[in-house]
């Protein structure tokens, strides 16, 4: 029996895609079918909840498929093996931007599963996402109107899935950074002169700002746990941060600054 391993949320015709393993024609067919399952069931859920169907965007499709293939090639669920949203120091927003997506709103669902039947695992993955509040919210986002999906299998037999939803109605921000909360409790983010955001336990948050921030400078901010003292940091444009520790003692480190 196929076994679901792990998945996470932070969020036109399908673009040409490569097989999860080169030279395996059947596997290539499975990849195409798995991607079709992700798309069909996502829009089925939206229809059942009075949401407009998402149209496939070729740029988001490239971003999603490349990310799935990269995870499969490295057989790695993100840089630390537990958060598939951040790989090679890049977040989902970085990947969409790198592919040239002009929209300022992007969300991603990712997952990994063991088994040989990619399309069947894609259906299982959708079922899990539907039951997870964060994943479900991304799938039913009222702000999203476009989608890209990806699927690939690794040499060890694991399947990796990626679904990116977005919209070009929202203009890209001038300043953006990503914060991944690896603690078991929510953390409050307060940026000087900006809004307050709550970063859920185990979730990824992308902070966007329209402010002009000079190169080499940053935005002052503080992260506050449920019970402990606030941690002050300077957020840098396009940087990715890891939040670890617990609800009384937070630790924040810059995971990387994605190469431009």
Handedness of CA 111, 148, 175, 217 (dihedral sign): positive
Per-residue pLDDT of the chain (260 residues; tens, 9 = 90+): 333 444 544 432 233 333 333 334 445 569 999 999 999 999 999 999 999 999 999 999 999 999 999 999 999 998 888 889 989 988 898 999 999 998 889 999 999 999 989 999 999 999 999 999 889 999 999 999 999 999 999 999 999 999 999 999 887 778 888 898 888 889 999 999 888 999 988 888 889 888 888 878 899 999 999 888 999 999 999 888 989 998 889 999 987 655 44
Handedness of CA 23, 29, 30, 36 (dihedral sign): positive
User: Helix crossing, 92-99 with 58-74: angle to 10°?
Assistant: 120
pLDDT at residue number 102: 87
Longest CA–CA separation in the chain, Å? 56
pLDDT value at position 20?
37
Put the strands of the sheet holding 218-224 in their side by side order.
196-199, 187-191, 218-224, 231-236
- The DSSP symbol for 228 reads S
The Cα 70–Cα 152 span in angstroms is 9
Report the half-sphere exposure of 31 (CA within 13 A, side-chain side).
29
Q: What is the pLDDT of residue 81?
A: 85
Is residue 253 within 8 Å of residue 86, measured between CB atoms? no
Q: How far apart are CA 113 and CA 22, in angstroms?
A: 20
* DSSP code for 242: E
């Amino acid at each position: 029996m196929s076994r679901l391993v792990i998945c996470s949320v932070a969020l036109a015709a399908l673009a040409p895609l490569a097989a999860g393993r080169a030279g395996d024609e059947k596997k290539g067919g499975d990849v195409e079918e798995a991607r079709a399952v992700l798309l069909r069931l996502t829009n089925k859920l939206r229809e059942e909840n009075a949401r407009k169907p998402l149209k496939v965007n070729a740029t988001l499709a490239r971003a999603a498929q490349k990310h799935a293939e990269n995870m499969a090639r490295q057989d790695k669920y993100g840089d630390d093996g537990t958060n598939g949203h951040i790989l090679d120091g890049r977040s989902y927003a970085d990947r969409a931007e790198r592919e040239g997506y002009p929209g300022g709103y992007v969300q991603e669902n990712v997952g990994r599963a063991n088994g040989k039947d990619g399309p069947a695992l894609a259906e299982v993955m959708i079922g899990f996402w539907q039951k997870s509040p964060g994943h479900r919210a991304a799938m039913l986002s009222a702000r999203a109107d476009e989608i890209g999906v990806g699927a690939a299998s690794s040499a060890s037999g694991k399947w990796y899935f990626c679904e990116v939803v977005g919209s070009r109605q929202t203009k890209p921000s001038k300043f953006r950074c990503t914060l991944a909360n690896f603690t078991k409790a929510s953390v409050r983010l307060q940026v000087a002169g900006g809004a307050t955001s709550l970063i859920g336990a185990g979730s990824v948050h992308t902070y966007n700002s329209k402010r002009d921030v000079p190169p080499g400078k940053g935005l002052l901010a503080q992260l506050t746990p449920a019970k402990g003292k606030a941690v002050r940091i300077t957020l840098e444009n396009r940087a990715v941060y890891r939040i670890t520790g617990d609800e009384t003692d937070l630790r924040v480190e810059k995971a990387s600054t994605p190469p431009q």
